[in-house]
Amino acid sequence: MTKLFNHTFGASSEDAIIDMEISEKISLLQQFVKPHHLDIPKVLHNEASWLLAVKELQKINSFKAPRVKLLCIISCCQVINNLLLNISMSNDRTLSGADEFLPILIYITIKANPPQLHSNLKFVQLFRRETKLVSEVEYYLTNLISAKMFLIDVNARSLSMEESEFQKYMESATLATKISVASPSSSQGLPTYYMGT
């Protein structure tokens, strides 16, 4: 599969456009979205775990084999799952699965802004044998696809904001990005690791 990678990964111009649009939108969201916008309770805030999950997800574009790309997704999601399990045990708190898992994964995806997210997910779906996509692995992949769709369609309501507030944040982020690109000392392209609360 790795021999055919250059001919199959992100091969269509449509995929490239979707990748660019998602990345640009996430870059804007990085500038203002905080955990509370995704209704992530404070008890689940853990910057060390979140940073580890971010780093795992950012690796997805470093490999050509769909199996290894999938392993990056699994590693990221297992960090989140372990965090939820530890908090559940230490706080005697019953967690309801996807209600806590997906918002954290969305937040991690925003912070990671993994390159070519759409193409990577499509590549894994197309070329990873379905027999290998079972139970936990399929759950993780499905959730990351859901996170991608959430980010494509994100609006004020999905971030628990008023429309005017959302538009103000998006306009400010767009302006800041333009200024950053125009600045000779721009640090654009460097990974964002500050998690913020």
Instruction: Kindly state the average pLDDT of the residues 153-160.
Output: 96
At 87, the pLDDT band (50, 70, 90 cuts) reads confident
**What is the spatial distance between Cα 166 and Cα 48, in angstroms, rounded to a whole number?**
28
**b/e map 148-182, b = 16+ CB within 10 Å:** bebbeebeeeebebeeeebeebbeebeeebeeeee
pLDDT digits (tens, 9 = 90+) for 53-83: 999 999 999 998 888 999 999 999 999 999 9
**pLDDT of amino acid 152:** 96
- pLDDT the model gives residue 141: 94
- Residue position matching structure tokens 């640009």: 24
Structurally, what CATH architecture does the domain formed by 33-112+120-170 represent? Up-down Bundle (1.20)
Helix, coil or strand: residue 162: coil
- Tokens 């991690």: give the residue: 108
